[in-house]
Structures are given as structure tokens and as C-alpha cells.
Amino acid sequence: MIRMSRFAIWVALALALLLGSCSDLPRQLPPLRDLEEPIGLFEEPDDEALRQALPRGSFTGVRVGAGGETLEELMTGGDGVVIESIVENSPGEAAGLEIGDVLFEALLPGEPSPRPLSAASEWRRLELEAAPGAVITLQIDRAGREVEVSLTAVPRWRSAAREEAERFREEERVGVVVRTATEVEARAAGLGPGGGAVIVGLARSSPWRQVGLAFGDLIVSVDGRSLSHPQLLLDGVRAAEESLPLTVRRGEEVFDIEAPVSERESHLTEIWVPLIFSYEADLESSDVSLPLGLIRWSETSAAWRLRLLWLFTISGGETDVLEEVDA
């Protein structure tokens, strides 16, 4: 009988250790659980008539895509845009440009220095600001060889095709949804088509609400650099330590603001008394176990679990509704 009792104790201890390691609770909240996205902001403004009335600028027949891939590349500029297509018989083809060429810099007549290129919106802005007949000097990379090319812009007889707005989300530090600005919005802010980011969603707990940012605000620059694409804003948020300098346009008003971001620090606390008590916690979860694992409480920001006598388990989620009972 004594041996059987010892055997039962060892089995119980083994079960306690086994069950104690199975606490697969969700460790993260659903993304943007307190996000507000007004229905009226799901569609971009109906400003096509205004867009058609804007000055058309010049035509080059060259369509480009972003060349920089990292935040550092985009922030420093001059990392190039890649030629994706060239219209037949266009100025771009006449200049000898080729698909796959990387355009690094462009110099317009009368400007003191070349413009660095890192986004498609910067190329479109150049086309809009180049006078018909202007000779644009381009520095390009062609298969690793630097080449200088001269391109003569011609009048654009009709507006470029309208591009649909895209939406981008940042779910970790700010809780914001932005969309690309329309051509009318971007050009009114001094940006090329495709530049800028309009706030169309904010979490109720977003730190940006605390400093007065609101739905419909158009972010035109990040850390002193023109916002050539919304992804630059989101990458800036993720890389910022405490805040991010923004320039914002609201109606006809333009203002600078230091936009705070949430900090995520890591820490780990452990307390362990063999066979009696254990406690472990970090920013995302905590776990408490009492003698021999007879009672165990596990909790994350999204769910909790209580186990009694190694056999009975009760668990639930953030809605405070009982989800599971095992016996």
C-alpha cells in the first residue's frame, strides 16, 4: 500500500508538470479592437470633375514604380524609381529609356540642383511641373552602369488615368488607417499624385487623438520629408522611439505636430519556490501555480484559464463570457 501511494504521488506530479506546460492562451488582442472607421470615409471623395479641370502638365510616356524597399532607403531619397513601362513613340522611348532602368535624379531647367527620386508620386510631380518642351536631365542606372539621359517633355492633351485609393493599417503603436490622397488632394498640398496619407480610421485609444489629429486630416510630410507614399508614414511610426514629427493639412490650414507613438518595452518577472509556488509574468501574460500545480492561473490580455486539481479547467476570453469548462 505504501508503494502504491508513492507511485500515485509520482504520477500526480508527472501530470502536474505535463498539464502545467499546456497553457496555450492567445497572447495578443484582436487587431484594432477599438478602431473607428466612419462609413462616410470608406469611399474616396467624388472629385473627378475637379481633377479633370486641373492643369495637365507635360507627358513623358514613362511609368515608374518605387525602387527603395526599406524605410532608410525611402527616407534618404535618391534610391531610384524603376521604369515599368514606356509608351510607344513617346518622349521616353525617343530618349532611349528602357524598361528596368532605375531613375535616380532628375534636373529641370532653371532648378539649382537635381531632384532625388524614390517614389512614383515624385516622378508624376515632376511631369506636372515640367513645362512642355523642357529638357529633363536624368541620371539612371542601367544594369549597374550610370548613364545620363536627356528627355524632352511634350504637352499632355488629356489627364492621366485616375488611380483608385488604397488603404493602409498600422495596428501596433498608433491604431490608424490611412488611404492614399486623391490627385486633387495631393496636388492641393503640393504633392504628386499618389503622395500623402488621409486619416480614415483611428482607434479610440490612439495617442494621435490626444494631440488633436482627426478623421480627414491629410499628412503631407514625415520627419521633414514630403510623404511620397503612405507606407513611408507607417514605417516611420514603427521605427519611431517616442514621437514622429508630422506636417498636416486640414482644409486650408497647414500645421506641424509631434505625433506620439506607444512604446513597447519588454520585461520578465519570475518567482519560483520549488514544489510550493511559481510566478512568471511579462507584458503580455502572467502565470501563477500553487502547491504541486494543484491550482494554476494563466492570463493574457486576451484570455484567462483556471485549472484546479490538475483535472478541472475553466477558461474565458476578453468578453468575460465563459467559453470552456473541462472536467
Q: How many whole angstroms separate alpha carbon 185 and alpha carbon 1?
A: 85
The answer to whether residues 134 and 171 belong to one domain is no
The answer to whether residues 71 and 40 belong to one domain is no
The answer to whether residues 210 and 237 belong to one domain is yes
Residue 275 belongs to what domain range? 265-327
Number of domain units in the chain:
3
> In this structure, is residue 295 part of a structural domain?
yes
The answer to whether residues 61 and 151 belong to one domain is yes
Nearest to 300, CA basis, from 311, 316, 322: 316
Q: What would the pLDDT profile of 238-257 be if each residue is shown by its tens digit? A: 999 899 999 999 999 999 99
* Contact indicator for 95, 150 with CB cutoff of 8 Å: yes
pLDDT at 69: 44
The answer to whether residues 59 and 201 belong to one domain is no
**3-state SS of the chain?**
CHHHHHHHHHHHHHHHHHHHCCCCCCCCCCCCCCEECCHHHCCCCCCHHHHHCCCCCEECCEEEEECCCCHHHHHHCCCCEEEEEECCCCHHHHCCCCCCCEEEEEECCCCCCCEECCCHHHHHHHHHHCCCCCEEEEEEEECCEEEEEEEECEECCCCCCCCCCCEEEECCCCCEEEEECCHHHHHHCCCCCCCCEEEEEEECCCHHHHCCCCCCCEEEEECCEECCCHHHHHHHHHHCCCEEEEEEEECCEEEEEEEECCCCCCCEEEEEECCCEEEEEECCEEEEECHHHCEEEEEECCEEEEEECCCEEEEEECCCCEEEEEC
Q: Give pLDDT < 70 ranges for the chain.
A: 1-33, 67-78, 263-277, 279, 281-284, 292-293, 301, 309-311, 317-327
* Contact indicator for 29, 302 with CB cutoff of 8 Å: yes
Residue that is last in its domain, among 134, 155, 176: 155
Q: What would the pLDDT profile of 180-239 be if each residue is shown by its tens digit? A: 999 999 999 999 999 999 999 999 889 999 899 999 999 999 999 999 999 999 999 999
The answer to whether residues 237 and 279 belong to one domain is no
> In this structure, is residue 26 part of a structural domain?
no
> In this structure, is residue 11 part of a structural domain?
no
The answer to whether residues 103 and 177 belong to one domain is no
* Contact indicator for 77, 70 with CB cutoff of 8 Å: no
> In this structure, is residue 16 part of a structural domain?
no
> In this structure, is residue 237 part of a structural domain?
yes
What's the whole-model pTM score?
0.69
> In this structure, is residue 254 part of a structural domain?
yes
pLDDT over 70, % of the chain: 74
The answer to whether residues 131 and 279 belong to one domain is no
**CATH number of the CATH domain containing 168:** 2.30.42.10
The answer to whether residues 81 and 97 belong to one domain is yes
The answer to whether residues 149 and 67 belong to one domain is yes
Cα first-last separation, the chain: 28
> In this structure, is residue 22 part of a structural domain?
no
For 16, list phi and psi in degrees, rounded to 5: -60, -45
> In this structure, is residue 30 part of a structural domain?
no
Max distance between CA atoms of the chain, in angstroms, equals 104
Look-up: residue for cell 531632384? 115
pLDDT at 273: 66
